[in-house]
Amino acid sequence: MINISNLTKTFGDFKAVDGLSLHIKPGEIFGFLGPNGAGKTTTVKILSGIMRPSSGSVSIAGFDVDKQPEDAKRNLAYIPDEPFVYPKLTAWEFLRFIGDIYRVPETEQKKRIPELFDMFDLTDVSDGLLEGYSHGMRQKLLIASVLLRKPKAILFDEPTVGLDPKSIRRFKNLLGEMAKGGAAVFMCTHILDMAEKLCSEVGIIFEGKLIARGTVQDVKAAAHSGSDSSLEDVFLKLTEKQSHD
């Protein structure tokens, strides 16, 4: 569903992403881990079509993001770490806007939107302008917009930043449901505990290169860590080893 092939992105002499190759299948939740500045957000921006690769290719649901951007984006949802929304629209209008752009039938929009507001505790504020929303409320609205359009691939960049504990719990459940529904989920996160519990596979990127990939158990084995060690221990061990090398 999400296919990354030999992806490289350079800024001048600096290689932000270096020969990255990944394949994320439908129903899979892939955790993309790495320290700050490792190349996670750059990868996500290329996947979402905001940035162009220097070399290599990326495809979503079989559509090349660079060559068939509209078709690829129609099958993709991207939730950035900073949830920017139009301040002078209400939540209702924002979801209608997203629904119209993604060609969700009107009857379905009208049925689903109130349900989504209920799900994310936004019903009482759904007629208020988004300029009055907190960071967490805007994040919830963006997640609701993903559920409205049911994409085949979902990119999350630090999805739980700003969410309250109840919403985080709900988000984790939804993530599982979305994957069960056949979506390929690509999630950048620093919350290793969440990655360990939710992700079917994880990848660790360091200085633009993928240094480990597989199930959590595979990664632990590759790092020669015991099965009782946490993903956090493995992550620190691998990244520190790379920086010494």
Judged by CB under 8 A, the number of residues near other proteins is: 40
Angle at 199 between CA 35 and CA 98, to 5 degrees: 90
Which residues, 6+ apart, have CB-to-CB distance to 14 below 8 Å? none
Instruction: Confirm or reject binding of residue 22 to other proteins (CB under 8 A).
Output: no
Q: Looking at beta carbons only, is 25 or 111 nearer to other proteins? A: 111
Distance CA(219)–CA(241), nearest Å, equals 14
Distance CA(22)–CA(50), nearest Å, equals 19
Q: Mask 222-241, x = binds other proteins (CB under 8 A)?
A: --------------------
Residues 57-96 that bind other proteins (CB under 8 A): 69-74, 76, 78, 80, 82, 84-86, 88-93, 95-96
Residues 38-57 that bind other proteins (CB under 8 A): 45, 48-52
Q: Looking at beta carbons only, is 138 or 220 nearer to other proteins? A: 138
Among 84, 13, 79, which Cα is nearest to 41's?
79
User: Stretches 29-37, 122-130, 162-170, 208-216: which one binds other proteins (CB under 8 A)?
Assistant: 122-130
User: Minimum distance from CB of 103 to other proteins (Å)?
Assistant: 7
Distance CA(159)–CA(74), nearest Å, equals 20
User: Minimum distance from CB of 199 to other proteins (Å)?
Assistant: 22
Helix H or strand E segment including 69:
helix 69-74
Q: What separation, in Å, do the N-terminal and C-terminal C-alpha atoms of the chain show?
A: 34
User: Minimum distance from CB of 132 to other proteins (Å)?
Assistant: 3
Q: In what order do the strands lie in the sheet with 201-206?
A: 76-79, 153-157, 184-188, 29-33, 201-206, 209-214
Q: Mask 126-155, x = binds other proteins (CB under 8 A)?
A: -xxx-xx-----------------------
Q: Which residues pair with 22 in a beta bridge?
A: 4
For binding to other proteins (CB under 8 A), which residues are involved? 45, 48-52, 69-74, 76, 78, 80, 82, 84-86, 88-93, 95-97, 100-103, 106, 110, 113, 127-129, 131-132
